C-alpha cells in the first residue's frame, strides 16, 4: 500500500500561491528575498529550505544557475487549484522566458581614465543583490558564471563608445590579445583601469580611446589581466 504524502504546511502552500500570483503579475518568478518578504519569512535559508522540500515533493523545478529559476509543476497547480490547459500554457510560456534570464554580478566601478585604487584586486566582494538580469540571448557564448559586470567611471574610452556611467560585461580571463579591451590590475600601484591592451616586447601599452589622453606604459610583470569586455550596456539616464 502506497504511503500517503504528508500534507503541505501552511507556509509551503503560501509560498506556492505567492509564486503563482507573482507570475501572473510580473511574467517571471520571484526571488528568494521577495518570497520571504511576502510570506513573512525573515531568513533566506528558511525560504530555501522550503523551496527544497517543495522540489522534493515534485511541486517545483529549480534551475540552480539561472536567476529566478523556479518552475511550478502541474502537480503544484493542482495543489493550489489553478490547473486548466490555458493556465498551464501561460505558465509554460512565462517559465520559458524566465529561464533564459541570467544573473550577472555587478561588482563595482572601474575607472576609464587615470587608474585609481579600488581596494580589491580580485573583485571578490559585492552585494549579492546588486546584479544584472540579462537575457541569455544577449550574452556571449560561454559559461554564465564566468561573467561579471563593472560600472565605468571616466571618459578615456569614449571613442570606443564606452561612456561614463555605462556598464561593461566582462568575461573572467587572465590573458589578453593585442587590441582587447580589458580590465587590468597594476600590481606596483594597487590600481585598476579599463583600457585597450597591447604587448610591445619589454612593455605593455594600455591605450585609452580618447585623443586627449596619453597611453600608460608598464612592465609586463606589473600587469594582471582580470577580464575582457564582451558587451557594453549604455547608460541612458
Q: How far apart are CA 135 and CA 152, in angstroms?
A: 21
Output the pLDDT for position 92.
57
The pLDDT score that the predictor gives to residue 27 is 73
R_g over Cα of the chain: 23
Looking at residue 125, its pLDDT comes to: 44
Nearest CA-CA partner of 192 in 230, 164, 154: 154
Give average pLDDT by consecutive 10-residue segment, the chain, 237 residues: 70 88 81 89 88 89 71 78 50 54 78 51 49 68 74 90 90 92 86 92 94 93 91 78
Instruction: Assess contact for 54 and 12: CB atoms under 8 A.
Output: yes
pLDDT of res. 129: 54
Nearest by Cα to 168 from 125, 130, 91, 112:
112
What pLDDT shows up at residue 204? 95
Residue 150: name the closest of 112, 176, 178, 180 by CA.
Answer: 112
- The C-alpha cell that represents 128 in the structure block: 549579492
Selecting among 14, 67, 156, 228, the annotated active-site residue is 156
Q: Which domains does the chain have, with CATH numbers?
A: 10-99 (1.10.10.10), 102-233 (2.10.109.10)
User: Is 156 part of the annotated catalytic residue set?
Assistant: yes
Q: Which of 185, 181, 148, 141 is CA-nearest to residue 167? A: 148
The DSSP letter of residue 57 is T
- Asked about 195 being catalytic, the answer comes back as yes
What is the pLDDT at residue 143? 63
**Per-residue confidence (pLDDT) for residue 205, from 0 to 100:** 96
What's the pTM? Answer: 0.55
Say which of 14, 67, 171, 195 is annotated catalytic: 195
Amino acid at each position: 500500500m502506497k504511503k500517503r504524502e504528508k500534507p503541505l504546511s501552511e507556509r509551503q502552500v503560501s509560498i506556492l500561491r505567492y509564486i503563482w500570483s507573482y507570475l501572473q503579475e510580473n511574467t517571471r518568478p520571484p526571488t528568494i528575498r521577495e518570497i520571504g518578504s511576502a510570506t513573512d519569512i525573515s531568513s533566506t535559508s528558511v525560504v530555501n529550505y522550503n523551496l527544497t522540500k517543495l522540489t522534493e515533493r515534485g511541486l517545483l523545478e529549480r534551475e540552480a544557475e539561472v536567476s529566478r529559476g523556479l518552475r511550478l509543476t502541474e502537480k503544484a497547480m493542482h495543489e493550489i487549484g489553478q490547473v486548466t490547459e490555458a493556465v498551464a500554457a501561460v505558465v509554460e510560456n512565462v517559465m520559458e522566458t524566465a529561464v533564459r534570464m541570467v544573473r550577472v554580478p555587478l561588482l563595482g566601478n572601474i575607472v576609464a581614465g587615470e587608474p585609481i585604487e579600488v581596494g580589491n584586486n580580485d573583485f571578490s566582494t559585492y552585494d549579492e543583490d546588486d546584479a544584472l538580469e540579462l537575457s541569455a540571448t544577449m550574452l556571449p557564448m560561454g559559461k554564465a558564471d564566468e561573467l561579471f559586470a563593472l560600472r565605468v567611471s571616466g571618459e578615456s574610452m569614449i571613442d570606443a563608445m564606452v561612456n561614463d556611467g555605462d556598464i561593461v560585461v566582462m568575461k573572467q580571463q587572465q590573458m589578453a590579445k593585442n587590441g582587447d579591451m580589458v580590465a587590468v590590475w597594476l600590481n606596483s600601484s594597487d590600481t585598476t583601469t579599463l583600457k585597450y591592451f597591447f604587448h610591445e616586447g619589454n612593455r605593455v601599452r594600455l591605450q585609452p580611446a580618447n585623443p586627449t589622453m596619453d597611453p600608460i606604459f608598464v612592465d609586463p610583470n606589473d600587469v594582471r589581466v582580470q577580464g575582457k569586455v564582451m558587451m557594453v550596456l549604455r547608460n541612458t539616464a
